[in-house]
């Protein structure tokens, strides 16, 4: 469906509603451009699969169409720029090859690579372009700024495992990196991955009525995800290293954009890397794909500390997404106004919370002061002010708003059926909702018609009206993530659910890095209590590859894992971690792996435990039951 007249008028008037400073962003985004990938605008895997298509955003040219918020359109024009960019004579970035940036520092003998993207294929292509333009030098170090997959997944397109294992190439990361890099993709991984398809618009077409970037970068590459464990931990602020002749000073910033994250400074170059703690957009305090709520106050405070530590010496600043900034005065304004964005979000959400407003009310009431909102880099292209305000509330008080009526609310399907019945039946609801839609009230239309869809997902008129409402809300959204959520919801309501060809959250190399404790925790959260019943088991488990013993105790439909061998067990089991993992995830049936499992005692006890574990739901509904 095209944009309605209401959406067209709203988008046309959007930029008239707030004051703004001059648009320096375009100049910064284009500065230093050296070359692009070339005539062959596709990056492919070894089997010829398309991993990245530089043509995908060719449609983003000229004035904004009615179906895209004009502020998001100007932002998308900058995000689609791709190629090799000079940041400093010794610092270069590859942008537009993935969701994130790959940065190279010219050391004395080779390249120090910062954040090697998501996929090995695009990371390899990025380094090919670097070497083509700057010379054929080896990689002499890799730095992970933080523990999200778009900052490490392509590492084996940059170096080999042997490079790290031999000590030839140090892999540097904040302490805790490996734990958080793996943990985020394990316990809640299936649900998070499903929601990510909405957040990034991974299954949407690339055109003016489809995905218009992610607001953080163009898109998520769909190649091979890899992982090489760090060989050097950064443990404290003030720690220094000299890597290939380049001095680096580190600042730890845990619990900001990632649980394990760090900023760092290159004193020889006057260059400050702020990782993903400073961006060309408001970021997410709670990401809509799902994660632990982040600490908005700490986020702002670490930006204050970064400027205190490094500001007087900084001439250029770059980050893991978006484009650099040059000039101390410009950088100071950016860092401190971005700091003020997170502190205002935090402080005012807490103030309103303590005045009795609940999360939804705070989200509706909170407005940024003009001095903060007027900066393009503080706009909500990726994070959304309303969503973040509710996240601050959640961090302090949780999801419950204190109203006893909400202590035990009916689940969506039951509530939907009751709402529809109270409103006179589905036909009456749709008739009234259509009037709202025709009046341009898409937000209320979506809220009401969603009840009809959850009451009866086979109701085609309801699905279509909900899809149309989602479309118009998506077309109006300045925030790329909200646009992707709305448009993906509309697409699935019309066409059903289609799984991604690659599940990045289940990447084999991430799974292979799981510790025994992580695998056993995964088993605990997959235990089906109906299958467990009142069964009691004690199982001794030896991981032969790491030489560690555990005792598993099943009682009261709870699986507990403790270190050490049990004195008495129903069965003693010996196997490797990577033998247990596919059993725990139910990717492999027990009889297929039985030859790799050594047992002493009742082998059926262990096989029975495996049968009690549930596989995760596959591509469950979000816009419908």
d(CA 448, CA 442): 10
Q: What is the pLDDT of residues 244-290, one digit of tens each?
A: 999 999 999 999 999 999 999 999 999 999 999 999 999 999 999 99
H/E element holding 555?
strand 548-555
Predicted confidence at residue 595, as pLDDT, reads 85
pLDDT of the residue at 504? 39
pLDDT digits (tens, 9 = 90+) for 362-410: 999 999 999 999 899 999 999 999 999 999 999 999 999 999 999 999 9
- The predicted structure's pLDDT at residue 22: 60
Measure the CA–CA gap between 388 and 393, rounded to whole angstroms. 9
- Of the pLDDT bands very low, low, confident and very high (cuts 50, 70, 90), residue 17 is low
Look at residue 505 and tell me whether its pLDDT is greater than 50: no
Report which listed range, 11-25, 30-44, 139-153, 188-202, is most confident.
139-153
What distance in Å separates the CA atoms of residue 176 and residue 107, rounded to the nearest whole number?
Answer: 27
Are 505 and 153 in contact by the 8 Å Cβ rule? The answer is no
- Of the pLDDT bands very low, low, confident and very high (cuts 50, 70, 90), residue 19 is low
Q: What is the DSSP string of 14-40?
A: GGGGS------HHHHHHTTEEE-S-S-
Q: What are the residues whose beta carbons fall under 8 Å from the beta carbon of 65, sequence distance 6 or more?
A: 3, 73, 208
For 607, half-sphere exposure in the C-beta direction (CA atoms, 13 angstrom radius) is 15
Instruction: Count the alpha carbons within 13 Å of 43 in the hemisphere toward its beta carbon.
Output: 27
Whether the CB-CB separation of 154 and 98 falls below 8 Å is answered with yes
pLDDT interval class at 482 (50, 70, 90): very high
Mean pLDDT over 334-359 rounds to 97
pTM of the model: 0.94
Average pLDDT score over the chain: 94
Question: Strand 102-106 and strand 50-53: pairing?
Answer: unpaired
* Confidence check: pLDDT of 208 > 80: yes
Q: So what's the pLDDT on residue 591?
A: 78
pLDDT band, residue 18 (cuts 50/70/90) = low
User: Which residue(s) pair with 554 in the sheet?
Assistant: 537, 559
Q: What is the DSSP string of 63-96?
A: SPPTTS-HHHHHHHHHHT--EEEEEETTEEEEES
Q: Is the pLDDT of residue 512 over 70?
A: yes
* DSSP code for 91: E
Mean pLDDT over residues 588-608, rounded?
A: 87
Average pLDDT over residues 302-314: 98
Rounded Cα–Cα distance for residues 154 and 119 (Å):
4
As a whole number, mean pLDDT of residues 295-310 equals 98
Q: What is the DSSP string of 263-285?
A: EEEETTTTEEE-TTTS-SS---S
Token pair 């990401």 is found at 287
Cα separation, 514 vs 192, in Å, equals 18
- Minimal CA–CA distance to 320: which of 410, 253, 230? 253
pLDDT at 502 over 70: no
Query: In this structure, are residues 339 and 367 in contact, taking their beta carbons and an 8 Å threshold?
Result: no
Range of lowest pLDDT (269-278, 485-494, 502-511):
502-511
- Rounded mean pLDDT of 68-93? 97
Q: What pLDDT score does 241 carry?
A: 98
Q: Report the share of the chain in percent with pLDDT over 70.
A: 98
CA distance 382 to 338: 14
The closest alpha carbon to 504, from 256, 197, 204, belongs to 197
For residue 10, the Cα-to-chain-centroid distance in whole angstroms is 30
What whole-number distance in Å separates Cα of residue 356 and Cα of residue 601?
A: 60
- Domains in the chain (CATH in brackets) are 32-392 (3.60.15.30), 406-495 (1.25.40.880), 514-611 (3.30.1050.10)
Rg (CA), the chain: 26
Range of lowest pLDDT (174-183, 351-360, 473-482, 509-518): 509-518
503 has pLDDT over 60:
no
β-sheet with 111-114: strand ranges across: 33-35, 83-88, 91-95, 102-106, 111-114, 139-143, 171-174, 232-234
């Amino acid at each position: 469906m095209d944009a309605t007249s209401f959406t067209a008028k709203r988008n046309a008037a959007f930029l008239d509603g707030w004051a703004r400073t001059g648009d320096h962003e375009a100049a910064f985004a284009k500065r230093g451009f050296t070359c692009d990938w070339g005539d062959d605008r596709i990056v492919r895997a070894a089997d010829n699969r398309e991993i990245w298509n530089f043509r995908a955003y060719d449609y983003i040219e000229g004035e904004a169409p009615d179906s895209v918020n004009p502020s998001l359109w100007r932002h998308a024009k900058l995000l689609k720029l791709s190629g090799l960019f000079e940041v400093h004579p010794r610092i270069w970035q590859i942008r537009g090859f993935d969701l994130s940036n790959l940065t190279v520092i010219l050391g004395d003998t080779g390249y120090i690579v910062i954040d090697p993207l998501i996929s090995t294929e695009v990371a390899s292509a990025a380094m090919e372009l670097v070497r083509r333009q700057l010379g054929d030098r080896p990689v002499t170090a890799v730095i992970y700024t933080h523990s999200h997959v778009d900052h490490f997944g392509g590492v084996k397109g940059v170096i080999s495992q042997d490079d790290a294992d031999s000590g030839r190439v140090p892999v540097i990361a904040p302490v805790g990196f490996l734990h958080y890099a793996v943990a985020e993709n394990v316990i809640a991984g299936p649900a998070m991955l499903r929601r990510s398809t909405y957040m990034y618009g991974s299954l949407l077409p690339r055109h003016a009525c489809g995905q218009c970037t992610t607001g953080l970068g163009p898109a998520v590459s769909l190649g091979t995800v890899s992982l090489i464990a760090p060989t050097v931990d950064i443990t404290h602020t003030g720690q220094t290293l000299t890597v290939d002749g380049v001095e680096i000073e580190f600042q730890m910033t845990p619990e900001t954009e990632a649980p394990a994250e760090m900023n760092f400074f290159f004193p020889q170059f006057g260059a400050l890397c702020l990782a993903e703690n400073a961006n060309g957009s408001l970021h997410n305090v709670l990401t809509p794909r799902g994660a632990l709520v982040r600490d908005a106050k700490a986020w702002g405070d670490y930006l204050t500390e970064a400027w205190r530590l490094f500001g007087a010496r900084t001439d250029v600043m770059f980050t893991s997404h978006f484009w650099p900034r040059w000039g101390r005065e410009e950088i100071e304004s950016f860092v401190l106004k971005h700091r003020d964005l997170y502190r205002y979000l935090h402080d005012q959400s807490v103030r309103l919370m303590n005045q009795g407003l609940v999360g939804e009310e705070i989200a509706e009431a909170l407005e940024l002061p003009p001095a903060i909102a007027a900066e393009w880099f503080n706009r909500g292209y990726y994070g959304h002010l309303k969503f973040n305000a509710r996240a601050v509330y959640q961090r302090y008080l949780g999801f419950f708003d204190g109203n006893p009526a909400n202590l035990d609310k009916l689940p969506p399907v039951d509530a939907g059926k009751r709402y529809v019945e109270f409103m006179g039946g589905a036909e009456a609801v749709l008739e009234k909702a259509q009037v709202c839609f025709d009046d341009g009230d898409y937000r209320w239309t979506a809220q009401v018609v969603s009840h009809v869809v959850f009451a009866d997902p086979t109701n085609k008129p309801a699905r279509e009206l909900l899809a149309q409402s989602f479309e118009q809300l998506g077309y109006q959204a300045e925030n790329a993530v909200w646009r992707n959520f709305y448009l993906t919801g509309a697409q699935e309501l019309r066409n059903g659910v289609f799984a991604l060809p690659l599940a990045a959250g289940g990447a084999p190399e991430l799974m292979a890095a799981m510790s025994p404790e992580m695998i056993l925790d995964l088993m605990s959260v997959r235990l089906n209590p109906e299958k467990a019943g009142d069964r009691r088991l004690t199982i001794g488990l030896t991981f032969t590859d790491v030489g560690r013993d555990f005792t598993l105790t099943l009682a009261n439909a709870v699986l507990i894992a403790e270190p050490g061998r049990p004195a008495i067990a129903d069965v003693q089991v010996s196997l490797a971690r990577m033998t247990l993992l596919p059993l725990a995830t139910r990717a492999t049936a027990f009889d297929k792996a039985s030859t790799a499992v050594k047992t002493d005692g009742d082998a059926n006890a262990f096989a029975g435990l495996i049968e009690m574990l549930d596989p995760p739901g596959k591509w469950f509904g979000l816009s419908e039951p």
